Amino acid sequence: MGLNENIRNNIRQVEPYIPGEQPQNKVIKLNTNENPYAPAPGVEQALQSMDLDRLRLYPDPTAELLTQSLADRYKVDKDQVFVGVGSDDVLSMCFLTFFNSDKPILFPDITYSFYKVWADLYRIPYECQKLDADFHICKEDYYKENGGVIFPNPNAPTAIYENLDFVEDIIRHNQDVIVIVDEAYIDFAGKSALELISKYDNLIVVQTFSKSRSMAGMRIGYAISNPTLIKYLNDVKYSFNSYTMNQTSLVCGAEAVKDETYFKETVNKIVETREWAKEQFKELGFEYPESQANFIFVTHPKLDAKQLFTALKKANIYVRYWGSERIEQYLRVTIGTKEEMETFFSFLRQYIAEHGGR
């Protein structure tokens, strides 16, 4: 349609993020870091016993049911918890609320691709800091003047986890700005930065229900920080949309948090499968940074990543491939069930037998 020029000039132009494919047919889906196990059984029960009449009313704008259950689980006060429609919503609200300086915010060059997108969307200046040759964050790069810092730990798509001393060094060197530690994958890794919340006023930790809690389909994320920063976040959220969390998310989210046994059991299964998968990859000649997430970032000295990606897709096995600078030869493989991974490795063995080298 030939759009009026004035209208077109006043439209916000963005480079939209392209999410991993969500195939509708039966495939082995190792491309978007979802959990291969269903949510906790209590979630199903919660859905089935939902009071339908409650749906005609607006949900509780403070989402207390959910913030309280997270507060109990993480031993903080409920006014230290902010919830949103997935951690994307939470992170985006953080960008909008806290990154209003003229100085650039800092984040790694290879990292979650949404950071750049939100910075562009909100016109926040930013400067990417190069990971080293082994894909590690160089903490000293974050010691210069800046408008804020954000990085995931473990980082994505590298899967590398940095220990808490490393994380604390970055926070301590940046007490003049907000530091966001994006812990989407922390439950598959090591210590969370949550224990630093009481020590540093400038720290926000963001986590999600989409990975370790098997609920990507429910869209629940949260930030934990001190009550002052959480209040600022809520002020912006209320000015944006007072009722972001629908009634089913509140009820199912609270239910999921309660079942610690199921949570540990499924996380452990994924970690076990990951460790086994690492051995399999190694045997087949793949290389990867040490993974502590629910995915492995692999490359093979003799196989072209793009060709392998395409061959896998043809065989109905989806993994993630970007083809962007420095990671053209890498694939990100989500840890599925043991059975899915066995099928995946059978394919790889066959593929390598047929396509020995690049």
- List the interface residues with its own copies, window 237-276 (CB under 8 A): 238-249, 252
Conformational region of residue 278, where left means phi above 0, alpha means psi within -120 to 50, and beta covers everything else = alpha
CA atoms within 13 A on the CB side of 168: 13
Q: Which of 257, 259, 264 is nearest to 81 (CA)?
A: 257
- List the interface residues with its own copies, window 286-305 (CB under 8 A): none
Please answer whether residues 93 and 237 qualify as being in contact, where contact means their C-beta atoms are separated by less than 8 angstroms: yes
Shortest reach from residue 142's CB to its own copies, in Å: 16
Interface characters, 303-332, with its own copies (x: CB under 8 A): ------------------------------
Shortest reach from residue 292's CB to its own copies, in Å: 21
Q: Which of 32, 33, 35 is nearest to 18 (CA)?
A: 32
- List the interface residues with its own copies, window 62-101 (CB under 8 A): 85-86, 88-89, 92, 96-101
Of the pair 12, 75, the CB lying nearest its own copies is at 12
> How are beta strands 331-334 and 81-84 bridged, if at all?
unpaired
Of the pair 266, 292, the CB lying nearest its own copies is at 266
Of the pair 97, 329, the CB lying nearest its own copies is at 97
Q: Which two tokens stand for residue 55?
A: 């749906």
Q: Counting contacts by CB under 8 A, is residue 58 touching its own copies?
A: yes
Instruction: Please report, in angstroms and rounded to a whole number, the separation of the first and last CA atoms in the chain.
Output: 46
CA 306, chain centre distance (Å): 24
Of the pair 2, 357, the CB lying nearest its own copies is at 2
Shortest reach from residue 193's CB to its own copies, in Å: 17
Residue 355: how many other CB atoms lie within 10 Å:
14
SS3 of the chain: helix, strand, coil, percent, to 5: 45, 15, 45
Q: Counting contacts by CB under 8 A, is residue 125 touching its own copies?
A: no
- List the interface residues with its own copies, window 212-241 (CB under 8 A): 214-219, 226-229, 232, 234-236, 238-241
Q: In 127-152, which positions are buried (b, 16+ CB within 10 angstroms) versus exposed (e)?
A: ebbebeeebbbebebbeeebbbbbbb
Shortest reach from residue 194's CB to its own copies, in Å: 17
Please pick, from the candidates 11, 132, 279, 325, the single residue that binds its own copies as defined by CB under 8 A. 11
Q: Which two tokens stand for residue 260?
A: 């610690």
Shortest reach from residue 315's CB to its own copies, in Å: 20
Q: Counting contacts by CB under 8 A, is residue 10 touching its own copies?
A: yes
Q: Counting contacts by CB under 8 A, is residue 118 touching its own copies?
A: yes
Q: Counting contacts by CB under 8 A, is residue 343 touching its own copies?
A: no
**Integer angstrom CA distances of residue 303 from 216, 314, 333:** 32, 17, 15
- List the interface residues with its own copies, window 18-37 (CB under 8 A): 18-19, 22, 29, 32, 34-37
Q: Which two tokens stand for residue 162?
A: 């940095």
Q: Counting contacts by CB under 8 A, is residue 38 touching its own copies?
A: yes
Please answer whether residues 185 and 213 qualify as being in contact, where contact means their C-beta atoms are separated by less than 8 angstroms: no
Please pick, from the candidates 48, 314, 354, 356, the single residue that binds its own copies as defined by CB under 8 A. 48
Q: How many residues bind its own copies (CB under 8 A)?
A: 91
Shortest reach from residue 231's CB to its own copies, in Å: 10
Sequence-ordered alpha helix ranges (H) in 60-190? 64-74, 86-98, 114-121, 164-172
Q: Counting contacts by CB under 8 A, is residue 144 touching its own copies?
A: no
Please pick, from the candidates 25, 52, 261, 279, the single residue that binds its own copies as defined by CB under 8 A. 52
Of the pair 39, 154, the CB lying nearest its own copies is at 39
